[in-house]
Structure 1
Amino acid sequence: MSGGPMIPGDDGITREEMHQRRIDFRGYRRSDGLYEIHGRVTDRKTTDFTPAGGSRVVPAQAAIHDMGVTVVFDREMVITAVNTFMSSHPYRSCVGGGDTLQGIVGLRIGAGWNAELRKRLPTCDTCTHLREILVPLASAAIQTMTTERSRDMVQALDAAGNPAKIDTCHAYGRTRELVRNLWPDQYRPPEGERG
């Protein structure tokens, strides 16, 4: 059941903020005809923090993690380059945790993305946080390309010759108004409206 936004404190419970995580994605069209997505994650604690097994103290509100990835891709969503950065990280050994991301060069952003990431990026050799950024990065890339490829996406057909976009999300569900407007022959009335 979905309702209005939950506002902390509306229920009479007091809360002490302990952690802040920000994930930001920016999509770009480049002058060379390619596209880029920049993904960045920052983690901060509200009190001084000593990482497990670490010897240094990260002061309150200083970034424990400030790292990210830039993925360059073409119009067909095939990755042509990957770059990473780590401005803040809890351990010296974190550096180099983005090197394995070169393994996604040549991968197409789309169906099967998460399975390919699991296959290509060994957990023990890949920074967890950079790997985590890649999962929603695919959605950000697709959203970036919506204006470039919206006509292509609506016209794309599946193996059976039906619009590929149908049933890919709530709005494109076969019983929804959007499908009725775009593909009336594919529309199916909701269960309660069938005669």
Structure 2
Amino acid sequence: MKSTLADDTREELHFRRIDIRGFRRADGLFELEAQLVDRKPKVFTPRSGGRTVPAHDPTHDLGVRLVFDDMLQVRDVQSFSSAVPYPECHGGGEELRRLIGVRMVSGWRREVALRVRHSHACAHMRELLGPMATVANQTLSELARHRPEPLDPTGRPRKIDSCHAYRADRVIVRRKWPEFHRPPPP
């Protein structure tokens, strides 16, 4: 991201990149792969010891793979790490297997919080799980085009008021669902 500030007004202290990719598998299931990479511009040793990391090498390079079906139900969970600050970090993804069987729908983050015990899981891997549900929906968006719009119990499309663009007083709602459009507040 290009900054609007002049380069001489700030010093980079940390860099984090998160990538999440969605795939269709040959077996009919889908897979998400989320990877988190942290780097420091200077030599780094964690405050409580651990390995000393050369400048620009990853302090963290780890991730999560979720296998799911077209109903967004998690079928398998795998984790991986090629760079972590402490030897004790390895194995921090095993706890995520408790999510097998959970659907990535409304309430996903709450389910993650209930099932994945903080002290038993890598905080960085846990952090990736929230946006993975959003990417799962995006991964299936091409399939969803051919399905009816999900409705709430009153028959109103669930998409309405789900974000800024789909707010009930916006142009998209007026165009797609005029019967549910409401005028903007004065």
Bin the TM-score by the shorter chain.
over 0.9
* Structure 1 counterpart of 2:177, from 157, 176, 183: 183
2:75 counterpart residue number: 80
* Structure 1 counterpart of 2:52, from 50, 57, 71: 57
Code of the residue aligned with 1:101 in structure 2: it is L
The CA distance in 2 between the partners of 1:45 and 1:85, in whole Å, is 21
- TM-score, normalised to structure 1, is 0.90
* Structure 2 counterpart of 1:172, from 162, 166, 169: 166
Code of the residue aligned with 2:3 in structure 1: it is I
2:35 counterpart residue number: 40
1:149 pairs with 2:144: yes
Conserved 8 A contact 2:104-2:133: yes
Q: Which moved more, 1:18-27 or 1:155-164?
A: 155-164
* Structure 2 counterpart of 1:67, from 62, 77, 91: 62
Code of the residue aligned with 1:134 in structure 2: it is L
Cα displacement (A) at 1:97:
0.5
Conserved 8 A contact 2:37-2:60: yes
2:5 counterpart residue number: 9
1:119 pairs with 2:123: no
1:160 pairs with 2:126: no
Cα displacement (A) at 1:150:
2.9
Aligned residues: 186
The CA RMSD measured in Å over matched residues stands at 1.6
Conserved 8 A contact 2:51-2:86: no
The CA distance in 1 between the partners of 2:50 and 2:74, in whole Å, is 39
Code of the residue aligned with 1:74 in structure 2: it is D
Runs of 4+ in structure 1 off by over 3 angstroms are none
Instruction: Sort the Cα spacing of 1:91 and 1:132 in 2 relative to 1 into closer, same or farther, 3 A.
Output: same
1:19 counterpart residue number: 14
Instruction: Sort the Cα spacing of 1:55 and 1:105 in 2 relative to 1 into closer, same or farther, 3 A.
Output: closer
Conserved 8 A contact 2:40-2:57: yes
Runs (5+) with no aligned partner, structure 2: none
Cα displacement (A) at 1:8:
4.3
Partner of 2:131, secondary structure, is helix
Code of the residue aligned with 1:179 in structure 2: it is V
Cα displacement (A) at 1:9:
2.5
Code of the residue aligned with 2:168 in structure 1: it is R
Code of the residue aligned with 1:68 in structure 2: it is G
Cα displacement (A) at 1:6:
7.0
Code of the residue aligned with 2:177 in structure 1: it is W
* Structure 2 counterpart of 1:133, from 104, 128, 131: 128
Instruction: Map Cα deviations across residues 136-166 of structure 1 (whole Å, 9 max, x no partner).
Output: 11111111111111343x6211012211111
Conserved 8 A contact 2:50-2:86: no
The CA distance in 2 between the partners of 1:55 and 1:141, in whole Å, is 35
Code of the residue aligned with 1:120 in structure 2: it is R
